[in-house]
Amino acid sequence: MKQVFNHILPVDDAGYYGKFGGAYIPEILHRSVEQLKKAFFRYAADDDFNNEYHQLLRDYVGRPSPLYRADRLSNKYGTNIYLKREDLNHTGAHKINNAIGSVLLAKRMGKTRIIAETGAGQHGVATATVCALMNLDCTVYMGATDISRQQPNVQRMKMLGANVVPVHSGNKTLKDATNEAIRDWCCHPDSFYVIGSTVGPHPYPEMVAYFQSVISEEIKKQLFEHEGRENPDYVIACIGGGSNAAGAFYHFIGNQEVKLIAAEAAGKGVDTDMTAATMYAGREGIIHGSRTMVMQTPDSQIVEPYSVSAGLDYPGIGPLHAFLATSGRSEVIPVTDDEALNAAFLLTRIEGIIPALESAHALGVLDKKKFNPDDIVVINLSGRGDKDMHTYMSYIDEYANK
């Protein structure tokens, strides 16, 4: 397989990861996507661009985010657990890494209007934040269901000056917001669409992974400082579309000794119809511009996904992850609502860290997999739980004193 400029991702020039990926787009977007591709590959190799990007990550986002050795959690599971603290980033999650890179690219391309979709609201907040910083017009599409369960983020976006557009189609969540954002882009091909995950037509999955790759770049340095070695035995991350996992895996993908584990949202269980575990419940198809695994009916209608966590409530998965999973490079472990909630309350109680519900799915893997006493396990804590307090509140009596 032909490798691209970074020689790291298993992707070819047309954006294929094995048989997954590509760019399945309406003709009207062809020119915009071509322009984006050109601009991304040009600026990703440009020192000025990368310097500005890394300076903002340092001075505005607060990077590097700490790699924290969680002693009490390690004792409980009889292994060595490190948490990569993306929850400590400005705006509370990893999404800001990509928002900074993408909006900076938009600015270089002379764009003045930004479109984004959002599920949990973290990508919307991150994009609205960078648009405020860089003085760009920002429109965010968000499903009506998500609007009601993620109110603090909706208010933040409005305060940041974004135009938040409620979406009432489908089950009114992330997939529907993405459809609407793509529709807007078709009407306004000169706008810049900032996608919040490693999904969408080429070059988005590769571009978003690149802007998130700072996570594993830092893990290597930080783990070396802690342990005298750069490579952990395991890296664990949750997967919605796959951007925090792509960032956490990125510099380890070529190193087979580092085992990669992706936690999917199983919802009420992979065998129920209330799940978002795409690798288990899905099959090959096309969604939002790329060929990948998709949850769908026998006649190829997309199935409404379900997860307690808005950021994982998506019926697809990025093509990179479909490839890593089907080729055996990564292991996908489904984690239910119940298991994620238990993990969230446990981390809060013994480490004093309230994780995002999405990140709690990655923590849920600790109960489902046996680790050796000398293993080094890095878990990407993709975000903080402030935005989920409304959901956690309704589970406190049930879970807090278990």
Ligand X SMILES: *Cc1c(COP(=O)(O)O)cnc(C)c1O
List residues near ligand X by CB under 6 A: 93, 95, 120, 122-123, 197, 238-245, 311-312, 356, 358-359, 382-383
Catalytic (active site) residue 197: no
Nearest residue to ligand X, using CB?
Answer: 383
Catalytic (active site) residue 206: no
For ligand X, which is the closer residue by CB, 80 or 176?
176
User: Least CB distance from residue 385 to ligand X, whole Å?
Assistant: 9
Question: Which residue, chain included where needed, has tokens 């000794």?
Answer: 257
For ligand X, which is the closer residue by CB, 80 or 177?
177
For ligand X, which is the closer residue by CB, 241 or 319?
241
Q: Which of 117, 264, 339, 351 is catalytic?
A: 117
Catalytic (active site) residue 111: no
For ligand X, which is the closer residue by CB, 80 or 96?
96
For ligand X, which is the closer residue by CB, 130 or 356?
356
User: Least CB distance from residue 212 to ligand X, whole Å?
Assistant: 8
User: Least CB distance from residue 311 to ligand X, whole Å?
Assistant: 3
Q: Give the CB-side neighbour count of residue 148, counting CA atoms within 13 A.
A: 7
Please give the Cα distance from 32 to 29 (Å, whole number).
5
Q: Which of 65, 213, 309, 382 is catalytic?
A: 382
User: Least CB distance from residue 229 to ligand X, whole Å?
Assistant: 26
User: Least CB distance from residue 172 to ligand X, whole Å?
Assistant: 17
Q: Which of 32, 65, 84, 95 is catalytic?
A: 95
Q: Which residues are catalytic?
A: 95, 117, 382
